[in-house]
Structure 1
Amino acid sequence: MRRYELVKDYVYSKFAEIQYEPLRIAAISHTASVDTCITFLAISRGIKPEKAKIAALFHDYAQFIDNCPHTQHAKLSSIYAHKYLSETKMFKVNEIDDICFAIGQHSKKEIYDSPLCELLKDADVLARFLENPDMELKGIRKQRLLDACADIQN
């Protein structure tokens, strides 16, 4: 988990530089929430949590750092993650590819992907629900929430 701690320090140091306080608070709180949720889901699904937690740290990075349109944030966040993870020289190419693919796909909740992608999608939905339990969830997002809760419960 040493690599996770390094990435966490980097991401949160960048979030600390966000001048607009509501955006900075949202970046920190949502990222921490997804990180926590993905840990529970990874453990409940028998998946080692390190790569999942790193994907959680970067999943909305561009949305918060660049305040980019939501439609572009997953792709741009995966690019930021790829650049940073490559520069650290602490990750194998296939690890970087897995993490960045999950980040790039996490907004496509209606599509089923790799186990890492599914963890990130489900953790994102669960975190959003925990941040606002009054939000209305329909269709696949509601099913993802129910499935994630069932996985944690088991």
Structure 2
Amino acid sequence: MLERYEKVKEYVYGQYAKIYNEDLKIAALTHTASVDLSITFIAMARGTNLERAKVAALFHDYAQFVDNCPHSQHAKLSSLHAYKYLKECGLFKTTEIDDITYAIRQHSKKESFDSPLCEALKDADVLARFLENPEKPLVGMKRQRLLNACADIQSH
């Protein structure tokens, strides 16, 4: 069922393995895995396409780790990396690529509401950050996203 996801995961983690800075490599692997696991629960609870959600999770911070780009540019650049890879690998339809890359591009805009896949990715990112450091306070929309994600997972 998730064969395409597995191929994407192999590619992304292969690229992360090449990161020279050990701290950055660990952050890439840890955070990507956390978002991937979080989005699995959220997508299943909400009926969002699981494979697209998990692929979006793999690439959502890709440029931040591989290019070490400024945080303000990482969502846009990560979506471009994802688009290039997903187009070249030939495993995904154009509509799927558009859905995935749009979610990646929008995932930093936590204050706005968007497509179901965007919302799942935003919420998975917040949930993952919380799980990585539960003592870091979450306020405003990030706190609300965490509460909504947990409620959806619990009710499923």
Amino acid at match of 1:75: K
Matched with 2:148 is 147
Q: How far off its partner does 1:34 sit?
A: 0.1
1:113 aligned residue:
114
Match of 2:17 in 1: 16
Number of residue-to-residue matches in the alignment: 154
Residues 52-86 of structure 1: per-residue CA shift (max 9 Å, x gap): 00000000000000110000000000000000000
**TM-score, with length taken from structure 1:** 0.99
Q: Which amino acid aligns with 1:9?
A: E
Superposed CA deviations along residues 101-135 of structure 1, whole A, max 9, x for unmatched, are 00000000001000000000000000000000001
State the distance in 2 between where 1:73 and 1:82 align.
14
TM-score, with normalisation over the residues of structure 2? Answer: 0.98
1:133 aligns with 2:134: yes
Secondary structure of residue in 1 paired with 2:137: coil
5 Å-filtered alignment, 1:1-150, equals 1-150=2-151
Rounded Cα–Cα distance in structure 2 between residues aligned with 1:63 and 1:85: 18
What CA distance in whole angstroms lies between the structure 2 residues aligned with 1:33 and 1:142? 18
Structure 1 unpaired stretches of 5+:
none
Unmatched tracts of structure 2, length 5 or more: none
Name the CA distance, whole Å, in 1 between partners of 2:67 and 2:91: 26
Q: Which 4+ stretches in 1 moved above 2 angstroms?
A: none
Displacement of 1:46 in angstroms is 1.5
- What do the CA deviations read for 1:20-69 (whole angstroms, capped 9, x no partner)? 00000000000000000000000111123100000000000000001100
Between the aligned partners of 1:61 and 1:26, the Cα distance in structure 2 is 11
CA distance in 2, matches of 1:57, 1:93: 18
